[in-house]
Structure 1
Amino acid sequence: MNFDLPEDTREMCAAVEHFAARELTPLTEFDPDTFRHRWSLAGKQGLVGASVPGAYGGSGLDAVTAAATMEALGHGSRDTGFAFSVAAHLFAAVMPIVEFGTEEQKRIWLPALSSGEQIAAHCITEPEAGSDALHLRTRATSDGGRYLLNGSKCFTTNAPVADVFVVQAATEPGGGYFGLTTFLVRAGTPGLTVGQRYDKAGLRGSPMADVYFDDVPVGADDILAAEGSGASVFSASMKWERTCLFAIYLGAMKRVLESTVAHVKEREQFGTPIGGFQAVSHRVVDMLARHEAARLMLYKAAQGLDRGSEDTIAPALAKIAVSEAAVQLGLDAVQLRGALGVLDGEAEALLRDAVPSRIFSGTNEIQKNNVARALGLGARTAARR
């Protein structure tokens, strides 16, 4: 085992951190033009197409290096929401095109999605189907050589600014794993509308909204992979997302941990720095231990992704570990700052941004179900005589 990243990767991460700290500071209000400008800058840095092959305009990074890049992005930028949008675009929407798209689909979409010219959104969650992803109500009905999409999606990251939507719909209602199909739908297609942007407590720099489909026409050549393979496409995208996207939180946690250590060294009470009090120092050590443990689990999952492992346990455990560590580290950072912790600042921002991480990409409870199922727990067995 080698826990050190190669020198060229470390140099690239340092450049990403410098760029993010300089160009991606949090904004007080969302502006679509400003968002697009920042997205273009991130594209020039190779971030929005980090794991896309070079032949299609991407940086061609493997999963471990892509995770390191996202970690650097999270460490350098205090706008975790924007970083989240970049990662959701890349891992949930673009990588499915890389892995399942036809050559024509790759040539059409990947160069612009990798350069920062265009933005992608992944449409899966519905008002009545969040964790129960195999029972979507959005329908795709065959209509003489094409399909008509009807239904709605919610909590869709990047929806207000997206140029293409990767949409999961039921082509065989009640068909279970083989009843879903993935479609590529261009923004502006008749019948496709995007709702008002959400006003959220956390991840404020990431625009999200509902998406509505009213007889939206899509051709057979807009299907990703094949009809009935939507669940496979979704599962593959979640492996990338549950691993590489959560590296952003590792970077954000490290940044807040560093500032917390600096704070407890400087803040004095009873004539001494509070970092000298055992109750404080032990809490800081716990913060560090959680971060280090979560980081090791995430990079183990990323390494498995690079090897083509079919393991579903490592990504699920990594997602659980990072999200739970981020929430607890945010709570600790606020506590150690005292009243300053509840004022506007990076400690309370981390906490607000971390709470949703236990929900998206499949709730942590669902991840535990997935791990239990992989272990064979809960499966029906023949009754003993």
Structure 2
Amino acid sequence: MDFELTDEQKVWRETVIRFSRKELAYDIADFEKSGDFPWDAWRKCSDMQLMALPFPEEYGGCGVDFLTTVLTLNSLGYACKDAGLVHALATQILCGLQLYFFGSEELKAKYLPLLCRGEKVFAQAITEPGSGSDAFSMRARAEKKGEGYLLNGNKVFITNGPMADVVIVFAVTDPEKKTLGGISCLVVDDGLAGFDKAKPLKKMGLNTLQNGELFFNNCEVSSDRLLGKEGQGAIIFNESMEWERSLLPAAHLGTLERIFEITLKYAKERNAFGKNIGSYQAVSNKISSMKMNIELGRGILYRCAVLKDCNKRASLDASICKLFISESLKQACLDAVQIHGGYGFMCEYEIERDLRDSIASTIYSGTSELQHNIIARFIGL
């Protein structure tokens, strides 16, 4: 499997890095305090067509492959310090992939151009108060009623939820069938009677990212808003996780690269006991581990992307990718704070924010513990 980037991909990566450093270099601390979303940055990303990358031109997309899309998220994670914005963009793309691969022609024509232009914000609603990693124990119900469905239930921690114009909702349509054939996906527009959104939740990190609760109370959804066929929810979910566990780790790997470079530079410049601290093995071991994890993470990330471009399943690879890169990022941030000492603990140096943001990477899209379980199942345990 060839992971060598083309000249066009290399140029595009540098283009995204330059764009991020110039246009997305705002003071994140101000947004963290206010809890506001950086709409101006969102519009700039839209103008750059970052949300349109993997979709056909007929829907307003750019028609690039999944590897290039993954590379873009990687570049954003590296050069844009607002992990919340990057996560919101990844969610927008993920929802677009669900619509493109499983939506009817009517749904694709209606929603994809709006998604690609960033005019409408999209979210996917899976997690509930009583079901996180155990996603298929969801209790939200979509019961057949006439020519549509009556949707009831609550969703929580939904990325982009408080500001979403369109939500892809996973709900139980046949309790007897449970997972296989019992869950379906409905595309729900903001403003539909019976659909309410709560204010954004306050979090430890990713404070520009808008996460919140969604409430559905006798919400009537027409049958033409069904994504895929009735009962295909588990299939859509499993396919979506392969995309999600490539897109988000791509950004995490970019952040890991940035943390590595910042820490390496500091270790070369900071002196203690007559020599730079990087010359001490206790410090150099931490930094060399960062470099090792970057190279290993890049290999599994590119493998996942190429598998998806070849229309192959990547469930095992995606779980390895998500687990390895997210845990590597969290450890790198902890080590970076330790190496920077008191400076690393100060908000002014921003590393503490990267650490706070990194914690969630081992939780969302399936916890690290769940990824271990998936890998164990694949090897027969």
With normalisation by structure 1, the TM-score equals 0.94
TM-superposition CA deviations, 1:128-174 (whole Å, max 9, x none) = 11122222111111111111111000000001111100000101124
Shift of 1:34: 5.9
Query: Could you list the runs of 5+ residues in structure 2 that have no partner in the other structure?
Result: none
SS of residue in 1 equivalent to 2:38: helix
Paired with 1:257 and 1:224, the residues of 2 have a C-alpha distance of: 42
Shift of 1:20: 1.4
Shift of 1:331: 0.7
Shift of 1:33: 7.9
Provide the residue aligned with 1:359 in structure 2.
Answer: 363
Paired with 1:3 and 1:304, the residues of 2 have a C-alpha distance of: 11
Provide the residue aligned with 1:5 in structure 2.
Answer: 5
User: Residues 327 and 174 from structure 1, CA distance in 2 versus in 1: closer, same or farther, beyond 3 angstroms?
Assistant: farther
- 8 Å contact kept, 1:43–1:114: yes
Provide the residue aligned with 1:306 in structure 2.
Answer: 309
- 8 Å contact kept, 2:36–2:208: no
Shift of 1:230: 0.7
Backbone CA RMSD of aligned residues? 1.5
Shift of 1:4: 3.1
Provide the residue aligned with 1:84 in structure 2.
Answer: 87
Shift of 1:114: 0.7
SS of residue in 2 equivalent to 1:228: coil
Aligned-partner residue type, residue 372 of structure 1: A
Tell me how many residue pairs correspond in the alignment.
376
TM-superposition CA deviations, 1:269-309 (whole Å, max 9, x none) = 11221112222112211111112111211111111111111
Provide the residue aligned with 2:340 in structure 1.
Answer: 337
Picking from 12, 27, 30, the partner of 1:28 is 30
What are the equivalent positions in structure 2 for 1:246-325 lying under 5 Å apart?
246-325=249-328
Provide the residue aligned with 1:381 in structure 2.
Answer: none
SS of residue in 2 equivalent to 1:28: helix
TM-superposition CA deviations, 1:105-127 (whole Å, max 9, x none) = 10000001011111100100000
Aligned-partner residue type, residue 17 of structure 2: E
Shift of 1:256: 1.2
Provide the residue aligned with 2:112 in structure 1.
Answer: 110
Aligned-partner residue type, residue 120 of structure 2: Q
Provide the residue aligned with 1:127 in structure 2.
Answer: 129
What are the equivalent positions in structure 2 for 1:188-199 lying under 5 Å apart?
188-199=191-202
- 8 Å contact kept, 2:242–2:314: no
Picking from 174, 177, 182, the partner of 1:175 is 177
Residue 371, structure 1, aligned to residue 375, structure 2: yes
- 8 Å contact kept, 1:172–1:179: yes
Percent identical: 36
TM-superposition CA deviations, 1:66-99 (whole Å, max 9, x none) = 11110001111000111011102212x2210010
User: Residues 220 and 374 from structure 1, CA distance in 2 versus in 1: closer, same or farther, beyond 3 angstroms?
Assistant: same
- 8 Å contact kept, 1:139–1:170: yes
- 8 Å contact kept, 2:323–2:362: yes
Shift of 1:23: 2.2
Shift of 1:3: 4.1
Provide the residue aligned with 2:240 in structure 1.
Answer: 237
TM-superposition CA deviations, 1:186-225 (whole Å, max 9, x none) = 0111111111211111111211100000111110000000
Paired with 1:375 and 1:197, the residues of 2 have a C-alpha distance of: 40
Shift of 1:35: 2.8
- 8 Å contact kept, 1:123–1:165: yes
Picking from 29, 48, 58, the partner of 1:55 is 58
Provide the residue aligned with 1:14 in structure 2.
Answer: 14
SS of residue in 2 equivalent to 1:348: helix
Paired with 1:249 and 1:87, the residues of 2 have a C-alpha distance of: 12
Paired with 2:276 and 2:312, the residues of 1 have a C-alpha distance of: 48
Aligned-partner residue type, residue 7 of structure 1: D
Provide the residue aligned with 1:96 in structure 2.
Answer: 98
